[in-house]
């Protein structure tokens, strides 16, 4: 990373070496290898089919929650992610309420601030589904969203 270090000054090495400080990401490489092996055993076609089925179910189930707005395309054109808002509840407040119900979602602009600006949103909540997600967990999300409406009495 450095060429020379003295008490009063340092000089940096040439590119790309000046950005290669520290220990290589050995643990991360081992973890990636384990993840690739796990997914290979499952079969990516099965992973995709499971995500698509869960996403379809989630979009159908969440459509029944009053005042819920879902953002994004149809299930066939998305991965295992559903972004939403609930009435006038700020996404961070909604995430806190859902957390109290044992339902974990992400809230914020999700590194998509231009998209949030386009839709006039401060933030959305986002539920993500993967190979370990069940339809019962999506039901728990929908039920917790309905109870969240009661907290704000609308």
Tell me which residues are annotated as active site.
111
Residue with structure tokens 């806190």? 96
* Count of positions (residues) in the chain: 154
Run of H or E residues at 35: helix 26-42
Residues 148 and 100: their CA atoms lie apart, in Å, by 10
Cβ atoms of 103 and 22 closer than 8 Å: no
DSSP 84-115: EEETTB-HHHHHHHHHHTT---EEE-TT-HHH
User: Phi and psi for 104 in degrees, rounded to 5?
Assistant: -100, 125
């Amino acid at each position: 990373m450095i060429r020379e270090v003295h008490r009063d000054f340092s000089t940096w090495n040439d590119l790309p070496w000046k950005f290669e400080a520290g220990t290589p990401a050995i643990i991360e490489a081992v973890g990636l290898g384990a993840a690739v092996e796990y997914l290979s055993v499952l079969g990516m076609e099965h992973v995709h089919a499971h995500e698509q089925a869960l996403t379809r179910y989630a979009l159908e189930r969440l459509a029944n929650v009053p005042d819920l707005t879902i953002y994004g395309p149809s299930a066939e054109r998305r991965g295992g992610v559903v972004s939403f808002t609930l009435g006038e509840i700020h996404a961070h407040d909604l995430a806190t309420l859902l957390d109290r119900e044992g339902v974990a979602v992400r809230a914020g602009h999700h590194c998509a601030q231009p998209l949030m600006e386009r839709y006039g949103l401060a933030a959305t909540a986002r539920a993500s589904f993967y190979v370990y997600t069940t339809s019962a967990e999506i039901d728990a999300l929908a039920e917790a969203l309905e109870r969240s409406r009661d907290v704000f009495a609308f």
